[in-house]
A and B are shown apart, each in its own frame.
Chain A
Amino acid sequence: MTAPLIRIEALGKRFQSGGGLFARPRAMMAVRDVTLSVGKGEVLGVVGESGCGKSTLARLVLRLIEPTSGRVTFDGTEITALSPPALRRMRRRMAMVFQDPYSSLDPRYTLADVLAEPFRVQNEPLPANRVEAMLAAVGLPAALAGNHPHQLSGGQRQRVGIARALALRPDFVVLDEPTASLDVSIQAQIIALLADLRDRLGLSYLFISHDLGLVRYFCDRIVVMYLGAVVEVLPDTATAPRHPYTQALMESNFAPDPARRRAIEPLSGEIPSPFALPPGCAFAARCPRASDLCRRQPPALDGDATHPVACFHPL
């Protein structure tokens, strides 16, 4: 692999909640000791269920929220140590596409306003015809420039969100569940657009999703998270999973073919509360292979292997 564009080292984020008049404050680690890298031109997928910390990770990588521990390096510069003005200059090289295209666009802005905003934030003049060019790049007619978001469909709005992210020609884009609120037919359109833009503009993506099927289709490498920690990194999309949780995620994905119906052996049990994590492996309570060791001691992620997995009894 070429030198990584993004290097994430031992990143952690602790949230505190409650602490009201009667409630005692409680703390939870949304992200625990995550180490990853994204290569130039790579699409790194991060997959997991709600509460696994994947959106927190996305925000930490762009330093939209401050980490509790660890650091993030972007193209050789440690962004977790930058001053606010320096961070703002650096931010023009990174962007984010949000999950919900309904709430991530200001309803009072026209599309032209939405797409001009990144230039305003960076104090840069807006090049002539740039708005039209950006709309064209994401497959929207230039005639829509004067429209407001409510006049667009969900898929069109997400195209605007992508155009805005690409306005300043970034190198790196975080895609936080960009298709989760769209129909499958529109999801496929948006994924095709993202793939095309990556090829044309040489972008690197961090692609966050709950859908392992989609991640396996779109990404080069796949990081699987469970309750704030990385449990497995699949080096490519063909490699079979070794962690029982990844295996369970894969089996939860049905094929659109009645001839391949699964005898579902659904996971029993519930995801433990992140406020009261068990002492051992966080997945032990739902895992068919769990032993006493798993319940006592948390397994470490073997970070040197090409296919790291955090499990005492991998498949």
Chain B
Amino acid sequence: MSALLELQSLSVAIGKVALLDGIALTVERGQILGLVGESGSGKSLTAMAAMGLLPLIGGRVTAGAVRFDGQDMAAMTEVQRRRLRGGRIGFVTQNPMTALDPVQRIGAQVDVVSRLHLGLSRDEARARTLDLLTQLRIPEAETVAEAWPHQLSGGMKQRIVIAMALAGDPDLIIADEPTTALDVTVQAQIIHILGHLVRDRGVSLLLITHDMSVVAQVCDRVAVLYAGRVAEEGPVGPIFAAPAHPYTAALIGCIPQAGMAKGSLTGIPGAVPSAMTFPEGCRFHPRCPRASQACRASPPPILSRGEGRVACHHPEVSA
């Protein structure tokens, strides 16, 4: 059986600016893939491309393909793609405050998804909505369904957005920084809920985040994105135990942890380059402690590493 979502050497440009360069990713059925990187690395653009939404932001695919369940998204009609989105592909945005319509009651906003995509009647849709809200541990689901968005807290709204993503009975959920706007205790709740849903329902999840500790907590595989290219990809166990790419190691090293000696947190020097000024060779070389002449001159080779791969001239040799 083919993978559920496959990005095959996908390159994307907006106008004349090339933003994504040869992104290759696979999300298997029932699996959680974490997509991490700093702001400006191309995470959200990758999500837009995976949903066939690039025209919305004036982008286009310049090479490669997106395949969902074996089918080339570019070969589909817009109507077919629209049916996928909200149906077999659910989406959870970063900011639940703007994802909900402020002048529609909560229940109506969730109902419409299953009426549209599953063809349910009004009553069936509401029953499904209440069931979903209850599964998301929302107390007094019937009261909440009659509430307006402004009456709910941020964490509650994000659960409603997740309910909307689930209402169309998706095979894949794409969640773009679903907890970034939330408080830490609420973030833990939402990550817990997302993780369980995926395991219980066999849904796949593409989880976009800047936070390596969230990846470590719930993901099966991780892809590290830097300046529009995949730096390293593979199962979380080996990558966190022995990151091969210096950027992966640096991202993990940026997270303050209990018991860390003061002064041991140094960060990554410099900043992510803008797409207009991507450096030659390896795009990470100006910030990399291991950069050599080869890194400045030519793009790194893609080497296989156990069940994963790394794009680096000087990968860390794993034990």
What is the interface of chain A, defined by CB distance below 8 A to chain B?
A: 49-50, 153-156, 183-192, 195, 210-214, 216-218, 237, 248-249, 251-262, 264, 266-268, 270-271
B200 CB to nearest A CB, Å: 15
Are A261 and B263 in contact, with the CB atoms below 8 A?
no
15 CB-based A-B contacts, threshold 8 Å? A49-B183, A50-B183, A154-B39, A185-B250, A192-B265, A212-B184, A216-B256, A217-B256, A237-B258, A254-B216, A255-B257, A256-B212, A258-B240, A266-B185, A268-B137
Given contacts A237-B258, A252-B184, A267-B189, 13 further A-B contacts (CB under 8 A): A50-B183, A184-B210, A186-B268, A189-B266, A195-B262, A213-B258, A249-B184, A252-B187, A256-B212, A256-B216, A259-B241, A266-B188, A270-B155
Are B240 and A253 in contact, with the CB atoms below 8 A?
no
Which residue of B has the minimal Cβ distance to A213? B256
Are B192 and A264 in contact, with the CB atoms below 8 A?
yes
Q: List A contacts of B256 (CB < 8 A).
A: 188, 191, 211, 213-214, 216-218
Q: List B contacts of A192 (CB < 8 A).
A: 263, 265-267
Are A217 and B271 in contact, with the CB atoms below 8 A?
no
Are A213 and B255 in contact, with the CB atoms below 8 A?
yes
Q: Please judge, given known A-B contacts A153-B271, A183-B39, A217-B257, whether A256 and B265 are in contact too, CB under 8 Å.
A: no
Are A185 and B251 in contact, with the CB atoms below 8 A?
yes
Are A261 and B217 in contact, with the CB atoms below 8 A?
yes
Q: List B contacts of A259 (CB < 8 A).
A: 237, 240-241
A108 CB to nearest B CB, Å: 23
Residue B211 at the chain A interface, CB threshold 8 Å: yes
Residue B147 at the chain A interface, CB threshold 8 Å: no
Are B211 and A184 in contact, with the CB atoms below 8 A?
yes
Are A264 and B267 in contact, with the CB atoms below 8 A?
no
Q: Please judge, given known A-B contacts A49-B184, A210-B184, whether A184 and B217 are in contact too, CB under 8 Å.
A: no
Which residue of A has the minimal Cβ distance to B253? A188
Are A189 and B269 in contact, with the CB atoms below 8 A?
yes
Are B216 and A258 in contact, with the CB atoms below 8 A?
yes
B260 CB to nearest A CB, Å: 6
Are A249 and B155 in contact, with the CB atoms below 8 A?
no
Q: List A contacts of B39 (CB < 8 A).
A: 154, 183
CA distance A129 to B235 in the complex (A): 53
